[in-house]
Structure 1
């Protein structure tokens, strides 16, 4: 009798487990192994700028913890805004305003500024501090040959590239802008600086160039070019409808510019990008909870 009761009990437990397993498999948001099912994919645009990486990696890890797969699309800024407008890209963490206003004007029906990441990001033409006599943009006129008549800039298609061309034309300067990647521009400037040669190139904050070199910003006295920027998070209009929790998180997003610069330094020193991002999350859990609405 005892063996019979044990056998019946075993069958009952097996049947109960089977019923429980069936409920789990049919339950919304659960996979066969009982874990939370992924909600879908969030695509993040990534420009070839060092400033884009820290905010993108932090947001990526947080969004993945929310149950999404995150994919990164590497492209120049104009392609990223086009991707946002088409719905191919969901999020861009590094839009510089007012420099990128032209993209918002072009794609106003399909994208939106979701939050401000940080403010007071200065940008403009920079020279090493050992270059005498160049303090303002007015000092450049007649001194173009000091720099070999070349201004080094970032990639073609960037708004900053167009602004520099407009600046050269507006001031009738005998300069040609030489464009390459951010890394290529910095490498060329570094070669000149190592020999203490005059060089002028595009600079902005946050960036480690101000940590690595003694630089000064060439002040634009007219006030027409190189305004301080406010960095925005941009989403396509579908995110608020299809991924409401992601949209709510990004609506609350913010980060200190000093934190971004510190992370850039760590990454350029060889630390893994996502490890640096996770370290920031661990050290700022209260802020993360606030952004998540917890």
Structure 2
């Protein structure tokens, strides 16, 4: 009798084991079919942000959408090298501002060692190289090769932005290598705002200046400028043509499948960033400028939120539109 009862118990346990195994297999099949569940390991998304208007814009609009989905977000303002270091150590989840190829000297070793993930390109058609006011270009400075010939007019100075920035590093490398005869030039480091204030000051009297320029940015409409040719070995071809990439910490996509889908969808445009940056330049906060843009252009959410869930399990698109009242 005891033996018979024991056999029955063993049979029941074996049956339960197979049922559980089947349920787990079925769940895996659903996941393989592409269903995205909100099983994110962490409902807080930590961003790195550098003090550039374009990255302030993209980070602000991204945080607004994520918070409307039910996530919490943080953002730490750091220098470019610290941004990548923080992602590589896992202290930061996402950085939306990897400008390539200018940042390649920073990103290449980290990527080769598997310390960060180049998740996707989030902007194409960007530009990042040296620039001069149009009247300086009209006077004959259209190439990196022309700068040294007019060293006195430039006061032997090239204006960059914050210390540690990749663009500054490239300028300093040119000076150190005496590339284009720039060996006796000095790199003036400041900030985006400080550099542009200097541009504003000297252009009033049509004085000469060469500085680090990029697009998208309001400087391209506020100032009449021209980008210089022949800097391919430092800033890339086609007058510093650039792409901007989303960088994540290792394992982030696997740990956060819903967020992985969102960041895979997240794509910016020159017009999007240009409009938000213009409002920031006019005195709005990045958050308010991003909110204004989203209310004016809610259609973008159709692409960004395809296949994405809100934290409460609803489809993200109606949840976000409801929470943002758009």
Q: Which TM-score tier does this pair reach, normalised by the shorter chain?
A: 0.7 to 0.9
Identify which of 138, 146, 149 aligns with 2:153. 146
After the TM superposition, list the runs of 4 or more consecutive aligned residues in structure 1 that deviate by more than 6 angstroms: none
Q: For 1:79-133, what per-residue CA distance to the aligned partner results, in whole angstroms no more than 9, with x for missing partners?
A: 0000000111111111101112223222221211212111121121111111212
Q: Determine if the alignment matches structure 1 residue 40 to structure 2 residue 50.
A: no
Task: Say which SS state the counterpart of residue 207 (structure 1) adopts.
Answer: coil
Residue in 2 that maps onto 1:177: 187
Q: For 1:22-42, what per-residue CA distance to the aligned partner results, in whole angstroms no more than 9, with x for missing partners?
A: xxxxxxxxxxxxxxxx95311
Alignment gaps of 5+ in structure 1: 1-37
Residue in 2 that maps onto 1:23: none
Residue in 2 that maps onto 1:257: 270
Q: 1: distance between equivalents of 2:265 and 2:105? A: 25
RMSD over equivalenced CA pairs, Å: 1.7
Task: Say which SS state the counterpart of residue 197 (structure 1) adopts.
Answer: coil
Q: Superposed, which structure 2 residues align to 1:227-238 within 5 Å?
A: 227=236, 228-238=241-251
Q: 1: distance between equivalents of 2:298 and 2:223? A: 33
Residue in 1 that maps onto 2:233: 224
The structural deviation recorded for 1:60 is 0.5
Q: Superposed, which structure 2 residues align to 1:101-180 within 5 Å?
A: 101-108=104-111, 109-131=114-136, 132-168=139-175, 169-173=178-182, 174-180=184-190
Residue in 2 that maps onto 1:68: 71
Identify which of 193, 197, 206 aligns with 1:187. 197
More deviation in 98-107 or 282-291?
282-291
Q: 2: distance between equivalents of 1:286 and 1:187? A: 36
Higher helix proportion (structure 1 or 2): 2
Per the normalisation by structure 1, the TM-score is 0.82
Per the normalisation by structure 2, the TM-score is 0.74
More deviation in 223-232 or 202-211?
223-232
Q: 1: distance between equivalents of 2:94 and 2:124? A: 19
Alignment gaps of 5+ in structure 2: 1-40, 308-326
Q: For 1:143-195, what per-residue CA distance to the aligned partner results, in whole angstroms no more than 9, with x for missing partners?
A: 11111100110112111111112223222323111111111111112111122
